[in-house]
Amino acid sequence: MMNKKLTLGLVAASLLSAGVSSTAIAHEAGDFLFRFGAVMVAPNESSQNVVTPDLGDLGQFSVDDNTQVGLNFGYMITDNWAVELLAATPFSHDISVAGDLKIAETKHLPPTLVAQYYFGNAQSKLRPYIGVGVNFTNFFDNEITNDVDNRLSDLSLSNSWGLAAQVGLDYQINSNWLVNASVWYADISTDASFNYAPNGGSDSVAVTIETDINPWVYMVSVGYKF
């Protein structure tokens, strides 16, 4: 009888231990997180009006959306606090005036570093989180695609530093794999500079338009914890 009770006790203890360890699969201090998926940048742009001497007021710049492969890398400092770096393949955007007159395109990389707070604990499979940090945006391959009868040339966009914020949600599938959805907001401002030649003549003037991109960034991804 004693042996049976001892055996049953050991089995119960083993099952209880297995049950506890099976729930302890979420993020905890010392974990590295790698996520990859689709990320869309949706600019919430505004700018000074582009006012020309021969074509009049062309209104503000508009910048279209773009979707790329997104990557982020996180490290859990404690069970609740973490740091994360957002990266992606280069985004490409069309720039238009007067509603739908495409005149240029640009590419950019927007690495963003944030400090995060994760709600719940190391036994929580569902981990919502918030983050705040800094964004650096590097614009490159700036190109005039429609010179409007030789009026436009030499486009450049200045790089940007700004604040960033995010909210997100991880769901742990097993001890290593997770799925994620997150939303970011980034403060991105740039000076768009170009040369403008009235009536397409030989004399051009340098023009600089202050432009706020300030995009919403949406990401859905699969992650791996190690």
50 closest CA partner among 120, 107, 101 = 101
3-state secondary structure of 16: helix
Domain tally, the chain: 1
10 Å Cβ neighbour count for 15?
10
Residue span of the structural domain in which 220 resides: 2-225
The tens digit of pLDDT for each residue in 125-153 reads 999 999 999 999 999 999 999 999 999 99
With CA atoms as reference, report the closest residue to 108 among 89, 80, 127. Answer: 89
Q: What is the CATH number of the domain that holds 115?
A: 2.40.160.20
Tell me what the pLDDT averaged over the chain comes to: 89
pLDDT reported for residue 9: 45
Which residue, 84, 67, 68, is CA-closest to 27? 84
For CA atoms 166, 172, 173, 177, give the dihedral sign.
Answer: positive
pLDDT band per the 50, 70, 90 thresholds, residue 100:
confident
- pTM for this model (two decimals): 0.83
3-class secondary-structure state, position 85: strand
